[in-house]
Amino acid sequence: MSLRLVLRLPPLILAMSFPSDAAAQARQAPAAPEPIRYTLSFPAPQTHYVDVEATVPTRGRPQIDLEMAVWTPGSYLVREYSRHVDEATAMAGGQARPVEKTAKNRWRVQTGGAPTVTVRYRVYGREMTVRTNFIESDFALINGAATFLTLADDTTPRPHEVTLTLPAAWKTTMTGLQATAGGVAHQYRAADFDTLVDSPIVAGNPAVYEFTVKGTPHFLVNVGEGGVWDGQKSAVDVQKIVEAQAVFWGGLPYDRYVFINMITEGTGGLEHKNSTVLMTSRWRTRARRGYVDWLSLVSHEFFHTWNVKRLRPVELGPFEYERENYTKTLWVAEGFSDYYGDLLAVRAGVMTPEESLGSLSEMIASLQTTPGRLAQSVEDASFDAWVRYYRPDENTPNSTISYYTKGGVIAFLLDIEIRKATNNARSLDDLMTQAYAHYSAAKGFTSGEFRALASEVAGIDLSAWFQTALDTTDELAYDDLSWLGLRFKPEVASTKAWVGLTTAMPGATLRNDNGRLVVVQVRRGTPVFDAGVNAEDEILAIGGYRVRPDQWEARLEAFRPGEKVPLLVARRERVLTLEVTPATEPPRAWRLEPDPAAVDAAKARLAGWLRP
Ligand SMILES: [Zn+2]
């Protein structure tokens, strides 16, 4: 449970601290296939390339097929990583050998009968996301799916070994992979391709903070602190989150865990079995609101260590890397991780109950003001993640619902259902830990199994409740908030004219395009939807007078609900007059607060649920 600063920890010490189990594996499983050995080097990192050399065993075959993943687990979109692979060549038996592309992500290599071939290629990486590569002058983030060609159609788990050759100024590599037994600097071994893909590597000169929880080492690896990010504070708080989640799940399911925190002005996080990659703005430790968002992200990604990396939908393992892996239960994987991300940050003492309630309120408001909740069920949203979630467009809010958002609200309401049904003896916590006990080994869960287990934990039949929440677009019911001592804060209905377009953040549906007022999206159920306003229309005038972006909100106040108002727009340079009839904005009464009229029992339940 100690925390100490380990700036630029030499990799040799890492290797000594955490000896590889390769030797033990070799004793127990002599039949393991020969590894593929990769060397990664960065001769000109400022050009954003990593050079890869792979030594691939052939078993004497005259030709071998190599494949690259088209997606990476946790981010459900075919990303076509192979588009960044350049200049593939092969050598075998001292001679250059032909390499031929046979598919978008496959290469056929003639071996000349040699026992191994050496394949060389370069990978371009300059996409600042948690699931792609980024290489520049002073650091590299390497994701397995985006980097490594492996033997296609390999039937047995094959070890993959990676050695990084760093530019002289770079001193450190960090990854969830185990160091090899030999103590060679920056050399790691994955027991199989899944582990390689699941273990991003960061190289450069990050600040490394080590702490132990339950005797297990953890590392917070900060890339780009830049004299702005408070590394020490962030490490202390990450440790508290780990401690709270270890209590929740009853232990830690790994030998070592690495938080790779890219302070690179990107966003997002991606979960792995014993590591995660986070992206953040460097200013986040300087203002409470932004810092809370980062802590929430850390907690969400760390919750995935169990929820989805081990307790998983049946379809998410073993992975097919060359095509989509469809599942209907991302509402558990993502929604429940959102819900518990905040709740466990409260239990860890790094977030206040009020902050958590505020964030839950925003989730509910987001669900209840998104028209797509009435168009798509949450299980359909999960199934369609591959074509919709990562490809939002102007119609997304009208046609889809986020399985994060609706899944998070379902977690909250299911928690109340279970607590109420068991007179507060059990909760969603029991469902999660029991589900983990049942489904965390080789076996994943189906939606039906998860629903059935919830009924078992609650001691009542929840199948009708689940059917409404998961299979239909019916509104969720918030009837039992008072049982938990909560209510929605009453809102005074607005009397102002509202047309459904706003420049106000968050949720702006208009943008200021160099002084032009341009429609970003038109939401179903708004006056502008009925008036025929389109996305990308430029609004020139309202009520017969010019309106500029900074005048929009104030100008609307000049009109009354029910009044017919001409709206002059330019659409692909053609000027049109539309007629809009402002209404009053539907009340956004989705802010949770303690119910002042709550009975003592309900107040006690609220305190127990949001316990720090
Ligand atoms: Zn997630």
**Rounded-to-5 percentages of helix, strand, coil across the chain:** 30, 25, 45
Supply the pTM of this predicted model: 0.93
| 330 CA → ligand 1 middle, Å | 9
> Same domain, yes or no, for 189 and 236?
no
| 568 CA → ligand 1 middle, Å | 43
In this structure, the number of other CB atoms found within 10 A of the CB of residue 49 comes to 22
| 578 CA → ligand 1 middle, Å | 42
> Same domain, yes or no, for 372 and 453?
yes
Does residue 185 lie in a domain region?
yes
| 77 CA → ligand 1 middle, Å | 14
| 2 CA → ligand 1 middle, Å | 28
Residue 20: pLDDT above 70? no
Last residue of a domain, one of 180, 204, 228: 204
Residue 1: pLDDT above 60? no
pLDDT attached to residue 494? 87
Residue 523: pLDDT above 60? yes
| 352 CA → ligand 1 middle, Å | 22
> Same domain, yes or no, for 455 and 523?
no
| 56 CA → ligand 1 middle, Å | 34
| 110 CA → ligand 1 middle, Å | 41
> Same domain, yes or no, for 376 and 416?
yes
| 336 CA → ligand 1 middle, Å | 9
Q: Whole-angstrom Cα distance, residue 260 to residue 280?
A: 11
Does residue 319 lie in a domain region?
no
| 374 CA → ligand 1 middle, Å | 24
| 589 CA → ligand 1 middle, Å | 27
pLDDT band at 59 (very low <50, low <70, confident <90, very high): very high
| 571 CA → ligand 1 middle, Å | 39
| 257 CA → ligand 1 middle, Å | 17
Domain count, the chain: 4
| 161 CA → ligand 1 middle, Å | 28
CATH number reported for the structural domain that contains residue 450 in this entry: 1.10.390.10
Q: What is the pLDDT of residues 271-306, one digit of tens each?
A: 999 999 999 999 999 999 999 999 999 999 999 999
> Same domain, yes or no, for 25 and 120?
yes
Residue 22: pLDDT above 90? no
* Cβ 117 vs Cβ 58: under 8 Å: yes
> Same domain, yes or no, for 182 and 93?
yes
Q: What is the mean pLDDT of the chain?
A: 94
> Same domain, yes or no, for 216 and 200?
no
| 332 CA → ligand 1 middle, Å | 10
Does residue 592 lie in a domain region?
no
Q: Whole-angstrom Cα distance, residue 177 to residue 275?
A: 9
Mean pLDDT value of segment 588-608 = 95
Q: Which residues contact 348 (CB under 8 A, 6 or more apart)?
A: 237, 240, 241, 243, 244, 245, 299
CATH number reported for the structural domain that contains residue 238 in this entry: 3.30.2010
> Same domain, yes or no, for 247 and 166?
no
> Same domain, yes or no, for 261 and 158?
no
Identify the DSSP state of 498: B
Last residue of a domain, one of 469, 485, 501: 485
* Domain range enclosing 528: 510-580
Q: What is the pLDDT of residues 409-449, one digit of tens each?
A: 999 999 999 999 999 999 999 999 999 999 987 889 999 99
Residue 13: pLDDT above 60? no
Does residue 604 lie in a domain region?
no
Virtual CA dihedral for 603, 605, 608, 611, nearest 10 degrees? Answer: -50
| 131 CA → ligand 1 middle, Å | 12
> Same domain, yes or no, for 29 and 165?
yes
Does residue 502 lie in a domain region?
no
List, as one string, the DSSP characters of 194-255.
HHHHT--EEEE--EEEEEEETTEEEEEEEE--TTTS-HHHHHHHHHHHHHHHHHHHTS-SSS
Does residue 589 lie in a domain region?
no
| 337 CA → ligand 1 middle, Å | 6
| 63 CA → ligand 1 middle, Å | 40
> Same domain, yes or no, for 165 and 52?
yes
Does residue 10 lie in a domain region?
yes
Does residue 532 lie in a domain region?
yes
| 271 CA → ligand 1 middle, Å | 7
| 504 CA → ligand 1 middle, Å | 28
| 531 CA → ligand 1 middle, Å | 38
| 407 CA → ligand 1 middle, Å | 11
| 308 CA → ligand 1 middle, Å | 9
Last residue of a domain, one of 172, 204, 236: 204
| 301 CA → ligand 1 middle, Å | 6
> Same domain, yes or no, for 29 and 137?
yes
